Structure 1
Amino acid sequence: MIRRCIARLWPGVLALGPAGPALARQVVTSPAPEQVAVTIYRAADRGDGAAMDLAWLRGFALVTETRTVDIPAGEGVIRFEGVAAGMLPESALVTGLPSGVREKNLDADLLSPRSLYARGLGRPVTLRRRNPETGEAREEPAIVRASTDGGVIVQTKDGFEAADCGPLKDALSFDAVPEGLSARPTLSVATDAPQASRVTLTLSYLAWGFDWQASYVIRLRENGRKADVLAWVTLANGDPISFPDARAAVVAGKVHRAEPDGQAGARRPPDRLVYPCFTQNKRSFGMPPPGGASAPLAIVVTAQRREERLMDVPLAVTVTEEGLGDLKLYRVPMPTTIASQAQKQVALFHRGDVGVVIVHAAEIRGDRAAGRVGQRLRMGNRQADGLGVALPAGTVTVFEPHGGQPVLSGEGTLRDAAVGQDVEVMLGDAPQVQLAIEPVARDANRHDREDYAATVTNANPWPIAFEARLAAPEDDERIVEPLSAKLARKNGALLWKVTVPAQGTARLTYRLRRR
């Protein structure tokens, strides 16, 4: 008789008993690696400034594990327990076996409420519940009848009912763990060795469900021409497996990975259990309260920061940069735990006395201003400017001093920037700076040209650098000619650059002329 052992694993689900039968061949189990390295690749389809979707991480990780195992003589099976649940088994590579690998099997169907119901379809279970009128606990036999996509429906002697539905929680008790389910993801490798031996193996594989993001905090100095720049790397692990004391690294740049035809969205994590409720005994219940088995996936932040005090804290450890072909590898120099369903932040670098310029920019298109005046932060990514490091794409937060305290000035997005490249970050609108376009006196005898004046007004109590790109209206045969100043050209367009005094104005007249 199967020993019945009841243990509550999740709200609404009780799992019991031993797993399936052992394999006929000699089985050796490696419970965990002695050493592990995790290199995370950013999700290629995520925008430079887009936040990570913590419920569906689309990046990948290269996991490399070192394990010491005893190889049996003859045919055997080595079980690598604790591999990532998102492992791509076709990418797994095992080195160090005396006779190589005969076959690989990924036992990644994990023990969970959903897998229990799926494997328990049509199996007898024990339904434990309380009487909604008296609160008295009772047990009764039942059979799981629903498909996992349709909900959790059981059949009792009274008919079909929705289990675990309503304010009183139900629980299903299974006599045994269905065959094929594992408490931990496991990779099985078949071997055939001429003699028994103890060897040190290296297991490497790709796994989905990871991502990383760079974040930059820039604090402007009082003069507005220098700044402190602090960069962070946020690692995210959506896998149910943690990697303690791992050698962590991230790769900057977009690595192309081709999905098989029709498989572009096949890596989505499995849907959660759905508990449809219905009126029963003239009592109508709603969905289960938050925190039950159907609660959304939550990712816990394990390392937080306060931007306004970042520059006051010395950094003991920062990430080191290495070349990786056309990409960049950033390695954490000390072991760090990449916990399951969690994020971790590590300092990328800190640079002081970085040369910056805040520019108020706009675009003049013909007889109108195209949009509002915006703020742009510019830096030269060179050692002479205080930087000179490869900058991964990420978010940028800018603080400026006000009354001795940093005040949020704007937020923007930084694209991947190589050393020697000029960096420009859009920081949003500048409501204190306005641009107006108006026509000026025309020559009644000339209909092939029109003169306009552009006036920029600065309401700030300090001078600003302003620039505007001038271009003819789209699908127009007219060209722009400056009248009151000589303008430069940038990327094929005229560029008006001027310093606007504090609470002052600057004016430019120009002409639109037919070709």
Structure 2
Amino acid sequence: MTLYRDPDRGDGAIDRNRPSSFALISETRTVTLPPGEVTVRFEGVASGIVPQSAILFGTDPRERNRDAALLSQKGLVDAFTGQSVILRRTDPATGRTVEEPATIRSASDRLVVTTPRGTEAVYCSGLNQTLIYPQAPATLSAKPVLSMLTKDQPGGRVTITLAYIATGFDWDATYVGTLAPDGKTLELLGWMTMASGDDTSFVEATTAAVAGRINRSAATRDDSGSRIKAEASSLYKQAQCWPMGNTSSGLNPPPPPPPPPPPAAPMMMEMAAGNIVVTARRREEKAAVVAEAEGLGDLKLYRIPVPVTVAARSQKQVAFLVKDAVRGETVYRTVMDERPSPIDKLFRFRNRKDNGLGDPLPAGKAVLYQEGEYGRGLIGEASTPDKAMNEEVELAFARANDVTIETQEPASAKAPYVLTIRNANPFAVTFEAEFHNLGHTYRGLPGRLIAKPGKRVWRTTIPPNDTARLSYRVDRPRDN
């Protein structure tokens, strides 16, 4: 299995019920074929299979068919329409369970049957009712099936491989970083979360995920598998029964009971002299299996080195990045649009091997912690787009409250703005002001600015418990 990330999802989370991307699935089987044209049935393919994407290797295919008749309640009703079944229900007079013969007459709008008592709609009495079928029709399959008709071939024992695209999959990258107390190194652990919304489990599969954006044709966006599943479960049990409701309809239900109290945390607590002392041991995060990165054209493929089971309607996490010390710096930054924006706190590094990384970073969210006097604590969350090697990476994880900025408005049109930046930390900090090219012209900026794509950056170091000042003038474009 090779899973692809949905690029249109952006920073949003994976939809657990309906993952919005796809996977490339291939399976190899050794079979004995008789000579001539042979129909090979592949049972247990993904229910979200895109049939027109299927390719068969090992023998030449002539025709392919997606067998859409699934074993379901609606499939059974459709197969037995006009035939005899057993209706099991609760007798309203005695309360006993009784069985009687019935004939299915219609299931287009309501499930209607004929019994010795007359014609009635099933599931409308308010009591337990169900249908018992004499057998499972041969036309219905309990698993999704794709059949391939081969060309005329000599027969014998051959190894064939079926490859196809299936919708209903997705994957995401999540990073867990621990910032050193001095803010100059980051311990980084990357997790690959694979999501399956399919009804088929793939046991002990060789699994990989592809990072980056690929061109995808409209043909591979076929969602007929999901439509087939929806149609198979579309036997209405409660609609269009008459009379609708009862004497309690419309009344508000009683409120649910309050949730039980949370269980006590697994740590030792000691009460002494009116103080509570809490002690705990940090659990070291060690990844037993780490996905290996490979080149795939302009993309990056992360292959899990051991077979794993991608279960139906589930999620699985595997580590793909483990770095002990990524060297960078903590920066306080404001973005200028005449006036400064609130100050963001970010960790910036260059994605190079000499900085402790040097691996592509797939797009995803990051959760950052920092080591302190009392252990590791959460300091913020960030996100990053896809980053290649040698690119600059910025993880903006928090709004600063230890570095503040004050703006002095100009007294006249030719007077400058004056910014006062205060550092309340007992250590020096790096501060940057970004001036974007948004139509304003900034003049009178002190010193030499750093040129970056689409912007210029004023950068300074503010000593501990000290201030810095920045003055500038703004020339606004004149209206024509």
3-state secondary structure, aligned to 2:416? strand
CA distance in 1, matches of 2:77, 2:462: 69
Q: Structure 2 counterpart of 1:437, which letter? A: T
Q: Structure 2 counterpart of 1:163, which letter? A: Y
1:330 matched residue in structure 2: 302
Residues 218-229 of structure 1 mapped to structure 2, 5 A cutoff: 218-229=177-188
Q: CA deviation at 1:225?
A: 0.4
Q: CA deviation at 1:387?
A: 0.3
Structure 1 residues 120, 376: CA separation in 2 closer, same or farther (over 3 Å shift)?
farther
2:206 matched residue in structure 1: 247
1:40 matched residue in structure 2: 3
Q: CA deviation at 1:246?
A: 0.9
Q: CA deviation at 1:351?
A: 0.7
CA distance in 1, matches of 2:74, 2:19: 20
Contact 1:480 1:510 in 2 (8 A): yes
2:290 matched residue in structure 1: 318
**Which of 499-508 and 416-425 deviates more?**
499-508
Q: CA deviation at 1:153?
A: 4.2
Q: CA deviation at 1:40?
A: 1.2
Cα distance per residue 1:155-186 (max 9 Å; x no partner):
565765462886x5532333443563211112
Residues 146-161 of structure 1 mapped to structure 2, 5 A cutoff: 146-147=107-108, 153-155=111-113, 161=121
- 1:391 equivalent to 2:358? Answer no
- 1:369 equivalent to 2:340? Answer yes
2:273 matched residue in structure 1: none
Q: CA deviation at 1:223?
A: 1.5
Aligned residues: CA RMSD: 3.3
Structure 1 residues 365, 195: CA separation in 2 closer, same or farther (over 3 Å shift)?
closer
Q: Structure 2 counterpart of 1:426, which letter? A: A
Contact 1:211 1:237 in 2 (8 A): yes
- 1:505 equivalent to 2:451? Answer no
Q: 1:104 aligns with which of 49, 55, 64?
A: 64
Contact 2:47 2:225 in 1 (8 A): no
Cα distance per residue 1:366-416 (max 9 Å; x no partner):
2x334x222222121100100001111111111112334221111121111
CA distance in 2, matches of 1:113, 1:459: 68
CA distance in 1, matches of 2:98, 2:247: 19
Cα distance per residue 1:48-104 (max 9 Å; x no partner):
x3211111112221112111111113343222211212222222222223xx22322
Structure 1 residues 45, 511: CA separation in 2 closer, same or farther (over 3 Å shift)?
closer
3-state secondary structure, aligned to 2:460? strand
What is the TM-score normalised by the length of structure 1?
0.75
Q: Structure 2 counterpart of 1:398, which letter? A: L
2:268 matched residue in structure 1: none
1:480 matched residue in structure 2: 442
- 1:81 equivalent to 2:43? Answer yes
Structure 1 residues 360, 155: CA separation in 2 closer, same or farther (over 3 Å shift)?
farther
1:6 matched residue in structure 2: none
Q: 2:146 aligns with which of 184, 187, 197?
A: 187
Structure 1 residues 221, 134: CA separation in 2 closer, same or farther (over 3 Å shift)?
farther
2:317 matched residue in structure 1: 345
What is the TM-score normalised by the length of structure 2?
0.81
CA distance in 1, matches of 2:345, 2:84: 66
1:25 matched residue in structure 2: none
1:94 matched residue in structure 2: 56
Structure 1 residues 135, 497: CA separation in 2 closer, same or farther (over 3 Å shift)?
farther
3-state secondary structure, aligned to 2:52? helix
3-state secondary structure, aligned to 2:182? coil
Identical aligned pairs, as a percentage?
A: 38
Q: CA deviation at 1:228?
A: 0.8
CA distance in 1, matches of 2:125, 2:290: 50
Q: 1:198 aligns with which of 138, 153, 157?
A: 157
Q: CA deviation at 1:339?
A: 1.2
Q: Structure 1 counterpart of 2:4, which letter? A: Y
Please list every run of 5 or more consecutive structure 1 residues that lacks an aligned counterpart in the other structure. Answer: 1-37, 287-307
Q: 2:429 aligns with which of 460, 464, 483?
A: 464
- 1:209 equivalent to 2:168? Answer yes
Q: Structure 2 counterpart of 1:243, which letter? A: F
Contact 2:360 2:387 in 1 (8 A): yes
3-state secondary structure, aligned to 1:90? helix
How many residue pairs align between the two structures? 440
Structure 1 residues 492, 82: CA separation in 2 closer, same or farther (over 3 Å shift)?
closer
Contact 2:347 2:395 in 1 (8 A): yes
2:275 matched residue in structure 1: none
3-state secondary structure, aligned to 1:56? coil
- 1:453 equivalent to 2:418? Answer yes
Q: CA deviation at 1:325?
A: 0.8
- 1:360 equivalent to 2:328? Answer no
2:400 matched residue in structure 1: 430
Q: CA deviation at 1:276?
A: 3.5
